Amino acid sequence: GENVEQHPSTLSVQEGDSAVIKCTYSDSASNYFPWYKQELGKGPQLIIDIRSNVGEKKDQRIAVTLNKTAKHFSLHITETQPEDSAVYFCAAMDNQFYFGTGTSLTVIP
């Protein structure tokens, strides 16, 4: 089955800096790669996703890149703000849904 690895597990950045979270996957059949933001005590919220026919997608300060050959995808957050502080999960999906282990992002004002 699929194996999704996510790094780093914790990340601290200064407000205004960029944050990058990386995930790798093992199953070349995976074709959908969403990113979720989970705030304390709440359910995960879909923030951006990318499908296997696209290499990059951007939505304001958030972007995701996908390298199918290397089987990795990354979340990029620019101009970080304190409200970006949360746990971020990547996921890969073929017929099933597989989560990464999460990255706790802290943006320091």
Partner 1 sequence: GAVVSQHPSRVICKSGTSVKIECRSLDFQATTMFWYRQFPKQSLMLMATSNEGSKATYEQGVEKDKFLINHASLTLSTLTVTSAHPEDSSFYICSAEDIEFSGNTIYFGEGSWLTVV
Give contact residues for partner 1 (rule: CB under 8 A). Answer: 31-32, 34, 36, 41-46, 49, 51, 89, 91, 93, 97, 99-102, 104
Centre a 10 Å sphere on the Cβ of residue 11 and count the other Cβ atoms it contains: 17
CB of 4 to partner 1, least distance (A): 10
Residue with smaller CB distance to partner 1, 42 or 83: 42
Assign 34 to helix, strand or coil: strand
Residue with smaller CB distance to partner 1, 43 or 109: 43
- CA–CA separation, 95 and 19 (whole Å): 30
- Please give the C-alpha separations between residue 10 and each of 60, 61, 73, 106, in angstroms, as whole numbers: 23, 20, 18, 8
Assign 83 to helix, strand or coil: helix
CB of 16 to partner 1, least distance (A): 27
- CA–CA separation, 65 and 32 (whole Å): 12
Residue with smaller CB distance to partner 1, 18 or 95: 95
Residue with smaller CB distance to partner 1, 44 or 107: 44
CB of 99 to partner 1, least distance (A): 5
CB of 69 to partner 1, least distance (A): 21
